[in-house]
């Protein structure tokens, strides 16, 4: 088993994660690493943080380019305000003592890692948020770079009128409507949706996230992950999933947009939610009508 061979220290697991993210492992080593990834809470957390960060970097490249074009004095002032506060990760008890044979037996060429690390740090310090924290969540990063505060109602001030209009049930699962038909043949997906339909959202999230590692651009996975996170109260994660689904499918379905906007409203991001609701096509009868009701309450 892979977990018997990997020693999860910050440096060694960081090297493996870098090569895994860059698709530089062959199929056998990738399979071994994935097996370990979903049995080690520490490594999975590291992977999620790194994956979210790389997405944030890509989405904010224009903002970064703008900063780099500033004069030296403006740039110095910008950098002086930045505080990197992401705490150091610590392995779960016992993980550090796992046998390090994997790294001894399989040779990787790590020469490129220092260069990648330096470049990552250079971009990382540019992702400033108003409260001095680095935005790991892609949508949070975008919000921070646009001024930090969303307009409209705050997190704790959702009116009863708005709250009553927001979805209180999950997005309905219908196998016949899947965009990626091959998903229905996967046992993990079938088990995930069985848990999802039964209201066991945490189990569904765990299984869907496992599948999403190798299918990050699956519209269906992001939709149901978002719905499960929405129902379990993990609204930041739900927004992240819905945002990915919308990106993958040119905005996504009217139902997706309604749930996406609802999660934003619950987070106090009404201005963003309005934009999503206004994008719903009038021909989408039921969902368009619901969107108009919510917009009427927000305005």
End of a domain among 115, 145, 175? 145
Nearest one of 84, 85, 4, 86 to 45, comparing CA atoms:
86
The answer to pTM > 0.85 is no
Same domain (yes/no): 125, 230: no
| Residue 103 and residue 7 in contact, taking contact as beta carbons nearer than 8 Å | yes
> If you count them, how many residues does the chain have?
299
Same domain (yes/no): 112, 204: no
| Residue 141 and residue 59 in contact, taking contact as beta carbons nearer than 8 Å | yes
Q: What angle do CA 219, 221, 225 make, to 5 degrees?
A: 120
Same domain (yes/no): 81, 208: no
Same domain (yes/no): 175, 140: no
Residue 155 lies in a domain: no
End of a domain among 94, 117, 145? 145
| CA 282/CA 169 separation, integer angstroms | 23
Residue 71 lies in a domain: yes
Q: Which residues contact 72 (CB under 8 A, 6 or more apart)?
A: none
Q: What percent of the chain lies above the pLDDT cut of 90?
A: 24
| CA 176/CA 268 separation, integer angstroms | 35
Residue 90 lies in a domain: yes
End of a domain among 145, 174, 191? 145
Residue 152 lies in a domain: no
Same domain (yes/no): 172, 290: yes
165-198: burial string, b at 16+ Cβ within 10 Å, e else: bbbeebbebeeeebeeeebeeeeebeebbebbee
Q: 10 Å Cβ neighbour count for 162?
A: 20
Same domain (yes/no): 115, 56: yes
Residue 164: the pLDDT is 83
Same domain (yes/no): 222, 93: no
Q: Determine which helix (DSSP H) or strand (DSSP E) holds 111, and give its type and residue range.
A: none
Instruction: For residue range 169-204, list pLDDT tens digits in order.
Output: 999 998 888 888 888 788 889 999 999 999 999 999
CATH code: domain of residue 273 = 1.25.40.10
- Average pLDDT of the segment spanning 157-168: 72
Residue 196 lies in a domain: yes
Helix axes 235-248, 254-266, angle to 10 degrees: 150
32-53: burial string, b at 16+ Cβ within 10 Å, e else: bbbebbbebebbbebbeebbbb
Residue 283 lies in a domain: yes
- Return the residue matching tokens 């948020």: 129
Residue 139 pLDDT exceeds 90? no
The mean of the pLDDT values for the chain is 71
Better-predicted residue by pLDDT, 265 or 52: 265
Same domain (yes/no): 270, 169: yes
Residue 150 lies in a domain: no
Instruction: For residue range 93-113, list pLDDT tens digits in order.
Output: 444 344 344 444 444 444 445
Q: Which residues contact 58 (CB under 8 A, 6 or more apart)?
A: none
How deeply is 156 buried, as exposed, middle or buried, from its count of CB atoms within 10 A (0-12, 13-18, 19+)?
Answer: exposed
Same domain (yes/no): 116, 207: no
* CA dihedral over 205, 208, 213, 219, signed as positive or negative: negative
Q: What angle do CA 138, 143, 146 make, to 5 degrees?
A: 130
Q: Which residues contact 172 (CB under 8 A, 6 or more apart)?
A: none
Instruction: For residue range 238-249, list pLDDT tens digits in order.
Output: 999 999 999 988
| CA 162/CA 35 separation, integer angstroms | 44
Q: Which residues contact 174 (CB under 8 A, 6 or more apart)?
A: none
Same domain (yes/no): 164, 122: no
How many domains are contained in the chain?
Answer: 2
- Domain ranges, residue 261: 160-298
Residue 5 pLDDT exceeds 60? no
- Return the residue matching tokens 């963003």: 272
Q: Determine which helix (DSSP H) or strand (DSSP E) holds 227, and give its type and residue range.
A: helix 219-232
Same domain (yes/no): 204, 117: no
Residue 45 lies in a domain: yes
- Return the residue matching tokens 């220290």: 9
Same domain (yes/no): 189, 291: yes
């Amino acid at each position: 088993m892979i977990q018997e061979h990997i020693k999860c220290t910050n440096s060694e697991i960081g090297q493996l994660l870098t090569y895994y993210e860059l698709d530089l492992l062959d199929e056998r080593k990738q399979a071994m690493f994935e097996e370990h990834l979903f049995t080690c809470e520490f490594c999975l957390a590291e992977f999620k943080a790194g994956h979210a960060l790389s997405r944030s970097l890509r989405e904010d490249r224009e903002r970064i380019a703008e900063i780099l074009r500033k004069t030296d004095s403006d740039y110095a002032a910008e950098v002086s305000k930045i505080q990197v506060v992401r705490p150091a990760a610590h392995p779960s008890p016992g993980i550090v003592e796992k046998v390090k044979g994997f790294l001894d037996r399989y040779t990787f060429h790590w020469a490129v890692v220092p260069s990648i690390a330096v470049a990552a740090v250079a971009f990382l310090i540019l992702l400033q948020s108003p409260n001095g924290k680095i935005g790991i969540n892609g949508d949070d990063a975008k919000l921070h770079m646009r001024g930090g505060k969303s307009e409209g109602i705050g997190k704790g001030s959702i009116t009863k009128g708005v709250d009553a209009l927001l979805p209180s049930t999950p997005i309905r699962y219908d196998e016949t409507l899947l965009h990626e038909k091959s998903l229905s043949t996967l046992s993990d997906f079938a088990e995930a949706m069985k848990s999802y339909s039964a209201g066991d959202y945490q189990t569904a999230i765990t299984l869907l996230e496992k599948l999403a590692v190798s299918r990050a651009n699956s519209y269906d996975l992001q939709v149901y992950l978002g719905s499960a996170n929405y129902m379990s109260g993990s609204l930041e994660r739900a927004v992240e999933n819905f945002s990915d689904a919308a990106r993958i499918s040119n905005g996504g379905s009217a139902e997706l947009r309604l749930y996406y906007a609802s999660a934003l409203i619950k987070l106090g991001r009404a201005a963003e939610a309005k934009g999503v609701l206004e994008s719903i096509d009038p021909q989408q009868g039921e969902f368009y009508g619901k969107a108009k009701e919510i917009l009427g309450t927000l305005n």
